Amino acid sequence: MKFAQYLKAVEVEAPDELQGRFLNYKALKKTLKKCNAAAHAAAGSPPSAAAAGKPPPPGHVPADLRDGFVRQLEEEVNMVNR
């Protein structure tokens, strides 16, 4: 079972007071994949490197994507901590 599926199953089984207090793992992973693809493109890496999930060269993640991911992650953590 993939982690996202496992997390969803755990959320369904969680007590009522914990419902809706889990990270949106799927959305965060999607955003990370966009950051990875954009960083590889900016670095001139072949598309296969991004598709293989290889880390991009340092410093090539566009600031708007990086900031968007950080903001999204902060929102998710704040939701869990409420």
Residue 7: which domain range? 3-81
Under the banding of pLDDT at 50, 70 and 90, the label for residue 56 is confident
Mean pLDDT (the chain, rounded):
85
Judged against a pLDDT cut of 70, whether residue 62 lies above it is answered with yes
Q: How many domains, in total, are found in the chain? A: 1
Judged against a pLDDT cut of 70, whether residue 1 lies above it is answered with no
Tokens 């755990």 sit on residue: 10
Give the Cβ contact number of residue 67 at 10 Å: 11
Helix-helix angle 25-43:63-81, to 10 degrees: 160
Query: Closest Cα to residue 10, out of 27, 73, 1?
Result: 1
